[in-house]
Structure formats: C-alpha cells, structure tokens
Amino acid sequence: MKDVYITRISKFLPNDPIDNDQMEERLGILDGKVSKGRRIVLRNNQIKTRYYAIDNDGNITHNNAQLTKEAVELLCDESFTAENIELLSCGTGSPDQILPSHAAMVHGFLKNGNVEINSPSGACCSGMSALKFGYLAIKSGQNTNAVCTGSERASSWMKSDVFKNEIEHLKKLEETPILAFNKDFLRWMLSDGAGAFLLEDKPNGHLPLKIEWMDAYSYAHEIEACMYAGGDKLDNGELKPWSEYPSEEWAQKSLFAIKQDVKLLSENILTKAVETLVKVFDKHDINPEDITYYLPHISSYYFKDALYEAMKDNGVEIPWENWFINLSKVGNVGAGSIYIMLEELVNTGKLKKGNKILLSVPESSRFSYSVALLTVC
C-alpha cells in the first residue's frame, strides 16, 4: 500500500465578502418583511462575513460546478496542469442538478481530457467522502494522483424567489405567510465557495501533508433525518420525497428548499460528534496530546463551548490553543468548509514538520461524521 500526501491546496470564494447587514438584501426579503429569526440566528452563529455567488444586482455569477472548476484550476501551474489529473472526486450537498453528476459537470468545465470521476452524495461529509475516494485510489495503486474537492452553492437555494409561491399559497388560504423557522434558520447559516486538494503518492511540494487514516461513521440507524431538501418531513419523522408529491405542491411547500430540524440538531450533533472522536482515538491508539491542530467543522459558534465541554467530559479534550476555525470569516460552506479551513491553516506559515492535524466533519442530514489525521512532512 502506498503513502498518500496532500501536496497542494486551493480555495475559491466568489465575489466580495457579505456582512450581516447586506445578506438579507442579497438573498431577498420575503413578502416585504425582514426576518424575525435572522438576528437571533446570527447572534448565535457569530458569522461576520460570508460569500455568495450573487452580484450586487441579484444575478447569479457562478453555479456550483463553476466554483469547483475555479478551485481546481488554482491547484494547477506549468508543472502540474489540469491535463495531468488522473482522478477527479467532487463532493457537494448542493449540486446544480439531479443529473448529470456534480463531478461530471466540473469535468465538463475543465475540458482537460479523459479522467476518472467520482461524485459522492450527501451534505458536509460528501467533501470528506470525495477525499477518501481519492486517498484509497492512490493508496491501492490505482492512481498516482487525484484532485478532490468540496463545494457548495447554497445561496440559490435560499433566495426569496424559492419561497415566493409558498407565501402566495398561504395568502390564498388566508393563513399568515410566515416562513417556518426550520427553513428560515438555514438562510442565515450557509455560504458559497469551493476548496480543492491535490493528492499524490510522493511527498512533493513544500511541507506536504501525509494522510495517516480516514474514518467515517453514520448514525442513521438511530436518528431520523435532521437536515433535508427535496422532500418534506411527516409527523412520524419519515421523509416524503418530492417525487411523491403532485408537481403543483413542489413550489407551494418549498420542497426544494433546505430545511433543518433545529431541536433534533441540538439534541444529537455534539453527542454523536464526541462519541465518534472516542471511537477513532481508541481505534488508532492516539491521545489528545498528540494533536497539534484540531480543525472541527462547526456550523455555529453556538456549539463551540458545548463541544469542548463534551470532549472534556469524555476524555478527548483538545486544548483551545490547538483549535483552528475560520467560520466567522467565510461562513459555513458545508462540504467545502474543511478544505477552506485547511487551506487557511497551511497559509498561516505556522506548520512544522511532525505536526499532527485532526480534521473532524459532522453532517446533520442524518448524523454522519468523518475524521482524518494528517502529518506535516
């Protein structure tokens, strides 16, 4: 089995950063009324700026595949071109369409000759799944290099136009057209962007990062869906997919909007995160003291202190000074967050040979978790 190294990292964040006072204007105000939940959500998540693939006039500037293509091209130069890519593995929770796959669309924009492609589905963990596919392909000797990406273009799912028909339908029923909090909540949480890694079977470049191992766990057998799109949640907790609704109800119910069961999120997201950390620490016989930098993908700073306390209570405490998070500056980019976080850490210039970096990504869709350990070489 071969060793696998992350030898190049890039990110692409579209347009200028959007602050909290600009975001509702950019996404659109619903029914002429500002959101009552916006300030509450922003106060808790403590995100100060984020990026949208939307210009000042409300026009879409990039789709998801284009964001990803930009990040991939930023990996390339004269010594490693897009034509040298052997495997393209692209994860996202917000693909531009159901078919073709996200990786196929990225490949179409790259126009870089024949490559193998892979498109893991899911939400935040899809970026890590894309990375693991590339990691295993190189480790097994199937490929000598792979480009792995994580990206989101969530803004188009959160624009006011998505909810226009639902609000008009409620007015016809003489009901108060207030957007349900499980939909409004995520309008103030998510951001656009893409990150990319070049994986190789040799430690090329300055301070390459060796992937020691990657583990993933799902708790879908225990917990019902929490974050979902393309369907609606029934009273019994099951999801009814869009394909089982009459087409006129797709817009009336905003079935394609991203929704979050906030109560279910708060009850489970930290518990299962720490349970996962305990498992991987035991499995790989490592201790918290071994970790130089801990990169947890958290959707909100609201969870930060509680996560630390839960880790402390379960014997997997990593000191605050070892944490690295950039959520407040770039927002929650879902599948792209861990790529963008690692890119920023690498570019701080603080890494030294022998440093251990722990990547930890939760996914609230139905509670999946992915963890990886890297060593600076």
Answer whether residue 265 shows pLDDT above 60. Answer: yes
Beta-bridged to residue 148, according to DSSP, are 89, 197
User: 176 vs 14, which has greater pLDDT?
Assistant: 14
Residue 234, C-beta contacts closer than 8 angstroms, at least 6 positions apart: 240
| Phi, psi angle pair for 197, to nearest 5° | -120, 140
Residue 189, C-beta contacts closer than 8 angstroms, at least 6 positions apart: 41, 45, 47, 260, 299, 300, 331, 332
Task: Check residue 166 and give its pLDDT.
Answer: 62
Answer whether residue 240 shows pLDDT above 80. Answer: yes
Q: Per mean pLDDT, which range of 147-161, 202-216, 347-361 is the poorest?
A: 147-161
The helix (run of H) or strand (run of E) holding residue 19 is strand 18-19
Answer whether residue 290 shows pLDDT above 70. Answer: yes
The CB density around residue 78, as the number of other CB atoms within 10 Å, is 5
User: 25 falls in which pLDDT band (50, 70, 90)?
Assistant: confident
- Over residues 142-154, the mean pLDDT reads 97
CB 93 within 8 A of CB 122: yes
Question: CA angle 217-149-258, nearest 5°?
Answer: 65
- Asked if omega into 14 is within 30° of 0 (cis), the reply is no
Task: Check residue 168 and give its pLDDT.
Answer: 67
Task: Check residue 367 and give its pLDDT.
Answer: 97
pLDDT in tens, 61-115: 999 999 999 999 999 999 999 999 999 999 999 999 999 999 999 999 999 999 9
CB 5 within 8 A of CB 197: no
Residue 133's nearest CA partner among 119, 122, 123 is: 119
- Over residues 32-58, the mean pLDDT reads 88
- Over residues 50-58, the mean pLDDT reads 92
Beta-bridged to residue 151, according to DSSP, are 92, 194
Task: Check residue 274 and give its pLDDT.
Answer: 97
Q: CA neighbours within 13 Å on the CB side: how many for 18? A: 28
Task: Check residue 98 and give its pLDDT.
Answer: 93
Q: Report the distance separating Cα 188 and Cα 23, nearest Å.
A: 8
Q: For residue 195, what is the DSSP state?
A: E
Q: Report the distance separating Cα 106 and Cα 101, nearest Å.
A: 9
Strands (E), 93-219: 116-118, 145-153, 192-200, 209-218
pLDDT in tens, 179-208: 566 677 788 889 999 999 999 999 999 999
Task: Check residue 178 and give its pLDDT.
Answer: 53
Could you give the domains of the chain?
A: 5-205 (3.40.47.10), 213-218+260-376 (3.40.47.10)
User: 175 falls in which pLDDT band (50, 70, 90)?
Assistant: low
User: 160 falls in which pLDDT band (50, 70, 90)?
Assistant: low
